[in-house]
């Protein structure tokens, strides 16, 4: 399936939609989720890669995926989180609703045991 250049994150990256930014560098933008599922709920997205979901990634995206993870650790520290959870949904059946690859950084509360 083709990347939708009018998805909400693409619009946000173009400055058409405001965001409560918490981190930004040349490759990554992170902002607070408007419907938080934890006291700290931050979305982390690549700025230039037009990747729909993790399931479509190839070796070519390895660098940006690594940068997203490094950014998550920096943001967690910046937010004062001693522990945190990273969630990446891939596909509609996994709960993905915006088809621009992104990760959820969740923290600020204790989570139930992992399902794995």
Catalytic residues: 102
Four-CA torsion 62, 65, 70, 76, nearest 10 degrees = -160
**Sign of the Cα pseudo-torsion (60, 63, 68, 69, in order):** positive
Per 3-state DSSP, the chain is made up of helix, strand and coil in percentages (nearest 5) of 30, 20, 50
- Token digits of residue 12: 């946000």
Q: State how far the Cα of 98 lies from the Cα of 58, in Å rounded to an integer.
A: 19
H or E element, residue 75: helix 62-78
């Amino acid at each position: 399936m083709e990347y939708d250049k009018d998805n909400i994150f693409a619009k946000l990256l173009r400055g058409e939609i405001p965001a409560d930014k918490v981190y930004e560098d040349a490759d990554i933008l992170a902002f607070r989720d408007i419907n938080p599922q934890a006291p700290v709920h931050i979305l982390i997205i690549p700025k230039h890669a037009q990747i729909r979901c993790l399931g479509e990634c190839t070796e070519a995206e390895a660098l940006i995926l690594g940068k997203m993870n490094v950014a998550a650790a920096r943001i967690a520290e910046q937010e004062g989180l001693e522990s945190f959870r990273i969630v990446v949904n891939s596909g509609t059946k996994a709960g993905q609703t915006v088809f621009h690859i992104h990760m959820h950084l969740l923290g600020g509360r204790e989570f139930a045991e992992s399902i794995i």
